[in-house]
Amino acid sequence: MVNIIGKPLNRVDGSLKVTGRAQYSAEFPQENLAYAVGIPSTIARGKIKSIDTSAAESLPGVIKVITHENAPKLQPLKTFMQGGTAAESYLPFQDNSVYYSGEHIGLVIADSLEQATYAASLVQFTYEEETPIVEMQKQRNEEFEPQTVFGKKPSVIRGNPQDAFNKADIKVDEIYTTPTENHNPIEPSATIAVWDNDTLTVYSSTQATYGTRKALADSLEIPEENIRVICQFIGGAFGCKGTFWSHMLLPVIASRQVNRPVKLVLTREDMYNVVGHRAETEQNVKLGATREGKLTAIIHDGITNTSMYDEFVEPFTVATHMMYACDNLQASQRLVRLNRVTPTFMRAPGEAPGIFAIESAMDELAYALKIDPIELRLINHADTDPDENLPWSSKSLKECYQIGAEKFGWSKRNPEIGSMRDGRYLIGMGMATATYPAFSSPASAKAKMLSDGSVVVQSSTHEMGGGTATVMAQLIADTLGFPFEKVCFEYGDTKLPRAPVSGGSMTISSVGSAVHGAVKGLQAKILELGGIKQSDSLTIEDYANILKKNNREQIEIEYDAKFSQEKEYSKHAFGAQFVEVRIDPDFGEVRINRYTGAFACGKILNHKTARSQFMGGIIMGIGMALMEESVVDPNLGRVMNANLGEYHVPVNADIPDIDIEMVEEIDNHVNPIGTKGIGEIGITGVAAAVANAVYHATGKRVRNLPITPDKVM
């Protein structure tokens, strides 16, 4: 038997993608396909007074125009925050209200995309316009406490934090802000709807096939078994495709009305308006400490925003609860309502903006104490979870600090501000802690072996580009001791066993546990059939012979992976981020010179795909630190840079070679295969590490992301 777990195998879907044979949601061919184009609102708040569709409907090739005046009535949906599967409670075309700029208020269906696009531009709306509410700071008198912050109380107090802060020897008390950010996957959200009498097939770019199916069934009032949702490949998601959005209903109701398959592909501008975003935050962090560096108080408060009709919280305080040992803690969040679409999950929701604030404050404390930033974190290392009062399932954070610092060359850092140069350029080094929870959710898988010994395992999960299909195949082959090429993993279809949303860095833990259980169960069933007790010495031919001798063409088993709700351990992945920046003192331009990330995330199933995941998170974190910001017009409530030309994301020239160090640990408390999620931890701490490096180089403490040249000069 050859152990292939951890081996840097190439992706099983690689050839499909580079040759263009991988089918994304907009690419499934349909006979007699019609094209839909959404009509966006040009105001951010008000009522639609009248609609004139005559010019559009008179065009050749235009089939129908749908608005609130002729749309079917839909049933309300529960949002994810309410225990449902929808991103928002808003449903399209149900009345004449307008809640945000860019909201879909009409839909044109035509024989071609060009005809639909032109016709959409001819539909005339008149409005009863109201002044939109779009600036969070101007709504401070309207802020309110949310019902929950991702399962935690919106206000948590441990000990006596305010008194401890007042009595602290050394204090930090600062405001940190992060802007609205958008996801920008390379694949815009797309849906093709095909009705066949009372059955519906939907090809949709979603991270949750079963969640999409349930939302469609609930809204349309049809049985779930009458709906099939297919999504095998996703061209980027980062959270914006994790829950059900209202635009996914538009081609479904259109297809039913025109009795043809209908395709809707969102425009790039739509992606800034109708599929959520990471909400803006303002965070006040107060740290109190002894002169020796021991934290005596942590206070992390602030506000973020939500839509007029939902309550979504960007949970920026969640990591603060457990990051450092401190007897006195306060964490609270409040919301304000704006005329914007409901915010949503974006890679490491909560942790990404929250750790920017807390880790920037820790760096400020380190300078105030004249203590090395790593040493300060070691002094306050939490040996057990201070929030839940539980032992860690595993925690190798100290090893991440040590290995990351050694590989990065932290010992060469001169701690004095502005002391390091490369010619005329200022050099700065910064670091920060990274962390993300290790989630698991119930999942199912079916495993079957054919008479030739080949194995197929199925689950409805997704391949978002992170390597899910590859590591699942590795897990199957390793469990059986089979050659990698003799196993197959099938996914992305509600005809296959149920899987949870591909989000929260939990796919491998959840679906991987189901796959592992199904394969072990299949193996045991075959051995029992052959009257064999030990499997160690069996070859693939031996398994095939057992089936043949028993006249079985195939044998299969389905397995449900379930996870205990009792909390015996606190389960998190950890890491350490190290960055060196080079800054032009005349122009304030910040460049990333070097980067090292060290992570401890349980057993690594494929070092190549894992490295790519960590790198992807870091690159996204660099974008968060230096360039990403959605700019909203304060009068119109419109995203002014809703395109890839003006919303800046990192390109190759912005990113150096990134050194990834994996501190391997096996954590069987999280799941039977010993893994933790790696998809989101890579972005956490990056922005803080960059901001800390900028301060080390320049003495300018930038507390408001992104770190643009005007803030550095």
**3-class DSSP state of 100:** coil
Among candidates 176, 518, 232, which has minimal Cα distance to 364?
176
**3-class DSSP state of 59:** coil
Q: How far apart are CA 212 and CA 501, in angstroms?
A: 10
Q: What torsion do the CA atoms of 446, 451, 452, 453 make, to the nearest 10 degrees?
A: 50
Largest separation between any pair of C-alpha atoms in the chain:
80
Among candidates 43, 297, 321, 330, which has minimal Cα distance to 172?
297
Tokens linked to 349 = 């929701």
Q: CA–CA distance from 580 to each of 33, 132, 195, 590, 657 (Å)?
A: 52, 42, 55, 10, 12
Tokens linked to 261 = 């398959």
Direct distance between the N- and C-terminal alpha carbons of the chain, in angstroms, rounded to an integer: 60
Among candidates 442, 439, 416, which has minimal Cα distance to 428?
416
Q: How far apart are CA 453 and CA 17, in angstroms?
A: 28
Q: How far apart are CA 5 and CA 479, in angstroms?
A: 9
Among candidates 454, 458, 452, which has minimal Cα distance to 477?
454
Active site residue 680: yes
Identify the active-site residue in 187, 280, 463, 680.
680
Q: Is 236 left (phi over 0), alpha (psi -120 to 50) or beta?
A: left
Place of tokens 């949702």: 229
Tokens linked to 359 = 């880790």
Q: CA–CA distance from 558 to each of 304, 363, 443, 496, 498 (Å)?
A: 44, 51, 11, 11, 11
Answer yes or no: are the C-beta atoms of 702 and 691 closer than 8 Å.
yes
Answer yes or no: are the C-beta atoms of 313 and 148 closer than 8 Å.
yes
The set of residues, in sequence order, having a beta carbon less than 8 Å from that of 5 and lying 6+ positions away, is: 474, 475, 478, 603, 605
The set of residues, in sequence order, having a beta carbon less than 8 Å from that of 563 and lying 6+ positions away, is: 440, 441, 442, 510, 513, 671
SS (H, E, C) 345-370: CCCCCCHHHHHHHHHHHHHHHHHHHC
What secondary structure letter does DSSP report for 587?
Answer: T
The set of residues, in sequence order, having a beta carbon less than 8 Å from that of 402 and lying 6+ positions away, is: none
Q: Is the peptide bond before 709 cis (omega within 30 degrees of 0)?
A: no
Q: In what order do the strands lie in the sheet with 62-66?
A: 62-66, 104-110, 34-40, 262-265, 190-196, 199-204, 227-230
Q: How far apart are CA 386 and CA 319, in angstroms?
A: 11
Q: How far apart are CA 625 and CA 577, in angstroms?
A: 13
Q: How far apart are CA 696 and CA 580, in angstroms?
A: 10
Q: How far apart are CA 662 and CA 339, in angstroms?
A: 43
Beta strands in 116-247 (DSSP E): 124-129, 155-158, 170-178, 190-196, 199-204, 227-230
Place of tokens 């990403």: 628
**Integer Rg of the chain from CA:** 26
Q: Which residues are catalytic?
A: 680
